[in-house]
Amino acid sequence: MSDRRLKDIVPFVACVEEGSFTRAAERLHLTGSAVSKSITRLEARLGSRLLERTTRRLELTDAGHAYYQTCIRILEELAEAESVLAAHRTIPSGRLRLAVPTTYGRLGVMPLLIPFCQQHPEIELSLTFSDRFVDLFEEGIDVAVRIGSNTELPASLGSRQLGREKMVFCASPDYLRRHGTPQTEAQLLTHRALLYERVDGSAKPWLFTTNDGHPDWRAVPWRMALGDVDAQVQAVCGGLGVAQMPTWLIHGPLQRGELEIILPHQQPDGLALSLVWPRRKQLLPKVDALLAALAHLVISPPAS
């Protein structure tokens, strides 16, 4: 970007925000003529009219609106980068917004956030728990923890995959005493299945791995379908049936002996755990510190 192009962007943005050449000139400490010439030069270079001049105020054209959004993003990124690089203070501080999945956020993320906040008392952490898709730019999120696919991320986002879920079949010791422990996949499919119910109302099938290592999703008859993973854990711990769940979700019940793993050789990989953040914010000390802390997240603890 040439120096001239950057200089023309600032008067254009000022004109849009002030609504007139005169007020934009006052804001920039320039003459009205200088601002008008800058806009004319910009429109000539782009080959598009950006502003419609009326007797009362300036109005953006469709091309002008699109160009304005681009200019605002460029100026914001420059200002943020300069504030970071020119700052005399490198101590992480200020408001920091983090979005996490509801249950994994509670079980997996919070144990790391407590020492993080103790180590950085000048950070004001705002934490959003939600299983819906979070748009980082629209909602002003600095870092998001995601479980699922991050394919086709825009270039404006950075990401780091930390691992993949390990899925296991499990049931309570009481259930297995009453109904027997299945030794084969065929026997497993005859047991009472406790499935996760997806948002669209369908029951999530069970995931197996074929002999040649490929995923094999199978729809199974079920006794209960639950749209909440915490409720699913309660149901299987209560002896209502057999479930397939990620090890991070049932690590505690497994350690306490409330659940037992069935068919330990069938532990296929589930969804990926990733960190996602706006690239332009990675320069901020508070974001860099949080990414470093969250790099220790674990998605697949030992199953037993």
Give me the amino acid identity at 122. E
What distance in Å separates the CA atoms of residue 141 and residue 158, rounded to the nearest whole number? 13
Alpha helices, DSSP H, located in the chain: 3-18, 21-28, 32-46, 62-85, 102-104, 110-119, 173-179, 185-188, 229-237, 247-255, 285-294
What distance in Å separates the CA atoms of residue 304 and residue 168, rounded to the nearest whole number? 11
CB 197 within 8 A of CB 203: yes
* Alpha-carbon dihedral angle through residues 225, 231, 233, 234, given to the nearest 10 degrees: -110
Q: Give the HSE-up count for residue 285: Cα atoms under 13 Å, Cβ half-sphere.
A: 16
Give me the amino acid identity at 181. T
CB 252 within 8 A of CB 148: no
Give the chain's domains with CATH numbers.
Answer: 3-85 (1.10.10.10), 94-164+271-294 (3.40.190.10), 166-268 (3.40.190.10)
What distance in Å separates the CA atoms of residue 288 and residue 94, rounded to the nearest whole number? 13
Greatest Cα pair distance in the chain: 89
Residue-level pLDDT, tens digit, the chain, 304 residues: 455 667 788 999 999 998 888 899 999 999 989 998 999 999 998 999 999 887 677 889 999 999 998 888 888 777 777 766 665 457 788 889 999 999 999 999 999 999 999 999 999 999 999 988 888 988 889 999 999 876 678 888 999 999 999 999 999 999 999 999 999 999 999 999 999 998 888 999 999 988 888 889 999 989 899 999 999 999 999 999 999 999 999 999 999 999 999 999 999 999 999 999 998 888 788 999 999 999 999 888 765 5
The pTM of the full predicted model, rounded to 2 decimals, is 0.69
Residues 139, 140, 145, 148: is their CA dihedral positive or negative? positive
Q: Looking up tokens 């469709």, which residue turns up?
A: 62
CB within 8 Å of 184: residues ≥ 6 apart: 263
